[in-house]
A and B are shown apart, each in its own frame.
Chain A
């Protein structure tokens, strides 16, 4: 990052990095002889060589250090960012806003690049558009059901590597299987202890057979998991390598005097080409050899290692382990070169794009210094011309009025306050989502939490207690419940924002009321308060229910005290559209089933979504109120140089934004997929925040042929452009009122439309409030209309309902 003061003298630069060999292909101020030295200092010397008259102060430091506070920032006329991570970019953005200094922000990835100018009061700030945060994967995808190579890499790097070589006290999900309790409870940790007399090759074989063989066999025993999935194949070392080779593997001695970081298992095995995709046998040998080298040569590191993409042996181990696992799950294997890119989140970078972006940064910086703000532009550098343009300037966007960073607008957090903890809130929301380093959390005047190094010991201990005791939000000394407003501040960033809390548990999708006659109940057996029935058991209980099993119903739970029964279900993957008909079958099923249960006079059955979708909302919290504008679309990859740059399609820039949003999104999507051809596996394009996910549904809906007709019914407005507008309004309505992605769409009659609207605007409720909300029977019957309409799936299309929950409760 560079700081430039008036007349470009003096000029300051801050960089915490040291020079690496892989920087030299584009960072032309550095030479081979500089590798390992401070970037800031070497760059200063290099620039002075051709510009001796200027004054440059280098700081080899982290820009997030407290010394670079608002007063420091105020000394400069413009800040030029060339950062490589979201966290630091957000931090600098906040300080620039607080110091009221213009910021020229930039990033590149491959042939793409982008330069933006952010000036408080004139343009949007860097955070006006939510930026995708690094992708996280559902735990069970990583531990049990990997589908892509990246899942194997994450498993190898974050679980296996961390388990074997990292801090043993760290929590590790290595042996979590699909939450069915089928874990044997065997103390697996023992496996990872190496016996005193255990030679590395024996130890390696034990680990290998355990994680690639035994564990897969255990997982296979759970039939439920594999019903709609490809079954993995357990791999034991003896099946892959002949005994002779296993023993010989441990006896190669070619790495005699190499340094730690260049110690290489592939070279000692004679595997020379990192671009080549090695066989399962080769990967198995690499696995054993890398493990052996770690034990014999780097024993002192074991217990404190974290994965580093510049650590050759670590990359080799992770590549080998990921490939063996991929082989087990029928996922294509990858070369070490590719695996390294995925594991290290390596961003593609070339000298030419950097040169172009550097030139554009200077052009913008000069405009800022001359106070020529009207002419400041946001410029995209494209790989393929768009409207004949390779460099595409766009007028800077206006500030987002709901941006929590540069406006006062409060955020809305939907969270289950009865199950979420303060630690979840601090880690997942305050630190991860809001990017605060040393947060201060208050409810009214009561201090709930304070982060930082300079706290009094007893105060810190008190907060730590709240954090660690797994206290749910409602049980805090100052209880956080639905309707609470929290104030979150970071004094260093001079940022303060308000968060309104909204409790969320279950979401009603549809409900139906039944009259029941007194039927003797065959009460299912109880297991604590809740009764869990496996699908198979349900089938045994009633033949009719076999159908339900096929539709993917997994469990029926019975709550004795509340007299309610819940059926959770999930659709077989790839059948999104048929999700709702399956829900209908669930109703049908319950209709029959409840008769057997109890002698209630009247029952209401509600179809609900689970409170949070594990795939899309792994945090189990949803932060709202900071929404993406449709007209801009930014695909962002993480890591090295990057903010880049999915250019908004230019037509949309000039035309009315609402009309074009949907079409534009589809275009952007296409571009994104083209562009990310090489990065796709890498998942550098991360899961978009919830609101984005809504938008990205757009194209599918628009492509639907019936869509316009249906909308006409909805709105009664024949004007095409208005129709399109409605699409967007509706999606916003859905995203804000349901705050979930159950996108109920495309209904056929005005009446049902109204019903859906009512459903959509209905409050988030849990099973007890379902009972309470029973007075509006009208709604119930209108819901039934929907249910009837569901018979004709052409007329009603429901997106995104994957996890379904039907709740039956007695109406009092």
Chain B
């Protein structure tokens, strides 16, 4: 690959990973621009991973203030209230992340991703989204330039104790196209989590809830929705077990801490693959359930449309 050589400092710092993916991949990484919208336990793990790996720049968007929950899940926030009070998550995480690797530019951007223009998104090689509605994700996916490999949507739910399940979606087909694929056209043995997440997503959308804003009380309504969707898609309801839906509802927005580094690690890995060109990123949904320990990849794409 053309371009300047790595400096001696970079060679020393990145020695162990250059042995994994080579010098050229490292050079490509150092030119990549990444945007992360939504800072929770998993996305900060992701941020940490790619900052350590040595990307070119990382831009953070999350204007929320620090809450007790955020403190529990986010190890980038300083514990000192006088430091964090009144400041946004993106500012605080930005400061901590700079410290991780002085060679990476880390920036905080104000605003809401949903309102961002194409011109703004165009600057980035990868956009990682978390904690927003399906509608926003589909919109972002729409706006992101097709020429860049983009992870159009990332939705994560890291659930309560021994119920940790999570979804992370990296799409080659557009997110909207992927989730519109009729269920009966999907390969057999698709993870039950895929269907469960679609039901939950639909429920949140129709009720106007924020992601994860759920509780056990929603179970009857969710079960009703399950029946409607399954009937419409001619899928046996056993593919979306009630116990699974219940676990997701009970967990609500809570994160099961050990799941965060796992998802943040997988996501970081896939983004690095995409940027560095070293290996193909997985296609295109990833599920991890701490209850059975399986980390499963589902290829949800319509063979005819790709």
Which residues of A are in contact with B by a Cβ distance under 8 Å?
21-22, 24-26, 28, 31-32, 49-50, 52, 110-111, 272-275, 337, 341, 346-356, 358-360, 362-363, 366, 372, 375, 377, 379, 381, 383, 385, 388-393, 640, 678
Residues of B contacting A358 in the complex (Cβ-Cβ under 8 angstroms): 258, 261
A275 to B5, CA, bound (A): 10
A363 to B164, CA, bound (A): 10
A362 to B164, CA, bound (A): 13
Q: Which of B5, B13, B266, B296 contacts A356 (CB 8 A)?
A: B266
A391 and B295 contact, CB distance less than 8 A = yes
The answer to the question of B264 belonging to the interface, with a C-beta cut-off of 8 Å to chain A, is yes
Write the chain B residue with the least CB distance to A110: B20
B266 and A389 contact, CB distance less than 8 A = no
A348 to B22, CA, bound (A): 11
Residues of B contacting A110 in the complex (Cβ-Cβ under 8 angstroms): 20
Q: Which of A24, A275, A359 contacts B261 (CB 8 A)?
A: A359
A385 and B258 contact, CB distance less than 8 A = no
The answer to the question of B151 belonging to the interface, with a C-beta cut-off of 8 Å to chain A, is no
The answer to the question of B69 belonging to the interface, with a C-beta cut-off of 8 Å to chain A, is no
Q: Which of B79, B102, B286 contacts A50 (CB 8 A)?
A: B79
Residues of B contacting A355 in the complex (Cβ-Cβ under 8 angstroms): 45, 48-49, 261-262, 264-265, 268
B53 and A348 contact, CB distance less than 8 A = no
Q: Which of B5, B48, B265, B296 contacts A388 (CB 8 A)?
A: B296
B268 and A348 contact, CB distance less than 8 A = no
A604 to B298, CA, bound (A): 68
A351 to B75, CA, bound (A): 16
Residues of A contacting B266 in the complex (Cβ-Cβ under 8 angstroms): 352, 356, 390-391
Residues of A contacting B75 in the complex (Cβ-Cβ under 8 angstroms): 50
B5 and A273 contact, CB distance less than 8 A = yes
The answer to the question of B11 belonging to the interface, with a C-beta cut-off of 8 Å to chain A, is yes
Known interface pairs A110-B20, A341-B19; A393-B293 also in contact (CB < 8 Å): yes
B17 and A350 contact, CB distance less than 8 A = yes
A383 to B265, CA, bound (A): 12
A360 and B19 contact, CB distance less than 8 A = no
Extra contacts, 13 of them, besides A22-B15, A390-B295 (Cβ < 8 A), are A22-B12, A25-B17, A25-B54, A28-B100, A31-B99, A350-B21, A351-B48, A355-B268, A358-B261, A362-B258, A390-B282, A392-B295, A393-B292
Write the chain A residue with the least CB distance to B9: A21
Write the chain A residue with the least CB distance to B21: A350
Known interface pairs A49-B79, A355-B265; A350-B20 also in contact (CB < 8 Å): yes
A363 and B16 contact, CB distance less than 8 A = no
A499 to B18, CA, bound (A): 45
B19 and A678 contact, CB distance less than 8 A = yes
Residues of A contacting B56 in the complex (Cβ-Cβ under 8 angstroms): none
Q: Which of A50, A349, A352, A392 contacts B16 (CB 8 A)?
A: A349
Complex A-B: 20 CB contacts under 8 Å? A22-B12, A25-B54, A31-B99, A110-B20, A111-B269, A272-B5, A346-B19, A350-B269, A351-B53, A351-B268, A355-B268, A356-B269, A359-B260, A360-B293, A363-B164, A363-B258, A363-B293, A388-B296, A389-B294, A390-B266
Write the chain B residue with the least CB distance to A678: B19
A275 to B1, CA, bound (A): 13
The listed residue with most B CB atoms (<10 A of its CB), out of A26, A350, A385, is: A350
The answer to the question of B229 belonging to the interface, with a C-beta cut-off of 8 Å to chain A, is no
A110 to B19, CA, bound (A): 8
Shortest beta-carbon distance from B91 to chain A in Å: 17
A363 to B262, CA, bound (A): 10
Residues of B contacting A350 in the complex (Cβ-Cβ under 8 angstroms): 16-17, 20-21, 53, 269, 272
Shortest beta-carbon distance from A684 to chain B in Å: 11
The answer to the question of B288 belonging to the interface, with a C-beta cut-off of 8 Å to chain A, is yes
A352 and B268 contact, CB distance less than 8 A = yes
Shortest beta-carbon distance from A593 to chain B in Å: 56
Write the chain A residue with the least CB distance to B290: A363
Write the chain A residue with the least CB distance to B263: A359
Write the chain B residue with the least CB distance to A366: B258
A366 to B48, CA, bound (A): 24
A388 to B299, CA, bound (A): 9
Residues of B contacting A24 in the complex (Cβ-Cβ under 8 angstroms): 13, 52, 101
